[in-house]
Amino acid sequence: MSDEEGAERAGPGRPVPEEHVAARIKLEREVRGWSTVKLAEEMATAGHPINQSAIWRIESGKPRRRVNLDEALGFCKVFDITMHDLTGPPGELATPRVRQLAREYVEMTREYHQLRAAIDRNQMHLSEIDRELNAYADKGPERRGQVDELLRLEERALMRRMHPSRAHHRNQGQPPAGE
């Protein structure tokens, strides 16, 4: 193929999926707030090295640079998308801001579910502890008093550990114990 044929193939006569790939690479990069340098670094880390200027030529060159199969696989890996997504029309995926919001929503929902599971585990453990403390305290009023006093002492100790400066200020101006 002559240089002219190659330029024509990469330019206006380029197949539609290749135009989609170029637009999608730019869209995915911008959604992440990455520069072409950062994308080149991510591609190298993923085992598909490409330099920053090649990425710019793919996205904006006149004529645009073509993407080879190894690079396409690398972009899919780095952006966590399928080849179908890479070659499909990027306009179907809304604006970069809407895509960013969708990504944040999914990440925050995942985080919420993780926190909810931790809260549920904590609540189950608290119930087990409560049952054991009550079983001990139910054996008489003296034991109930012991449990209540231990809980008060532990709560005060926790507050001192959490806010040592407050405990220091509370103790200032008070006479030492025994005076």
Taking only the tens place, the pLDDT of each residue in 21-75 is: 998 999 889 888 899 999 999 999 999 999 999 999 999 988 889 999 999 999 9
Type and span of the H or E element at 131: helix 96-137
Both tokens of 108, joined, read 């925050």
Mean pLDDT of the chain: 84
Write down the pTM of the prediction. Answer: 0.48
173 vs 126, residue with greater confidence: 126
Burial class (CB in 10 A: 0-12, 13-18, 19+), 156: exposed
What amino acid is encoded at 68 in this protein?
Answer: N
Cβ-proximal residues to 144 (8 Å cutoff; 6+ apart), any chain: 137, 138
Residue 178 has pLDDT above 60, yes or no: no
